[in-house]
Amino acid sequence: MPGYFLDTSAFAKLYHQEAGSDFIEQIVRDPGSAVVSRLSLMEIESVFAIKVRTGQLDQCGQDLARRRLRADISRGRIRIGPPIGELHYQQARQLLIRHGATMSLRTLDAIQLSVALDLLQTGAISVLVAADQRLCQAAEASGCPAINPENPGVLKP
């Protein structure tokens, strides 16, 4: 069973229907196959707030999204990755040195990629899923296969 690391840009698609949502839903149908970082749990709150501010969600929709998130975690559709530690920050800094200028890798994306690389090395995941082409490119350049859920191709069984 392949494991998928969902960056927040992909993870958010579970809680608001948009391009790529069906692909992400297909991944989480297999309990335990989707992993998010602890950073994503914080970032998803920012995503929900943006969607409320821009009128894509109302307060009831935001509350429903939060309940669905808690249910997905409790049912095992989403696994939470390891705590982010000093080694992740050090690796993220190195990723920014390597890819910050050439691929426009940003700080939080570097931390996400660092966690994904750690999980890839341990065999917990086999691919990073992000709706951010820059992050996908940096992941591939760092040895982590990546898929953009908005243009995924075929999902491997």
Please, what are the domains in the chain? 4-147 (3.40.50.1010)
Task: Give pLDDT tens digits for 103-122.
Answer: 999 999 999 999 999 999 99
Give 46-73 pLDDT, tens digit per residue: 999 999 999 999 999 999 999 999 999 9
Question: How high is the pLDDT of residue 2?
Answer: 73
Residue type, position 56, single letter: Q
User: 0.85 cut: is pTM over it?
Assistant: yes
> CA 121 to CA 123: how far, in whole Å?
5
Tell whether the model's pLDDT for residue 154 goes beyond 90: no
pLDDT tens sequence across 21-46: 999 999 999 888 999 999 999 999 99
pLDDT at 157 > cutoff 70: no
Tokens 């040195």, residue located? 97
Q: What integer best gives the mean pLDDT of the chain?
A: 94
Q: 11 vs 21, 69, 114, 130, 137, CA distance in Å?
A: 9, 10, 17, 8, 18
Two structure tokens written together for 14: 């579970």
- The pLDDT confidence band at residue 1, using thresholds 50, 70 and 90, is low
pLDDT at position 15 is 94
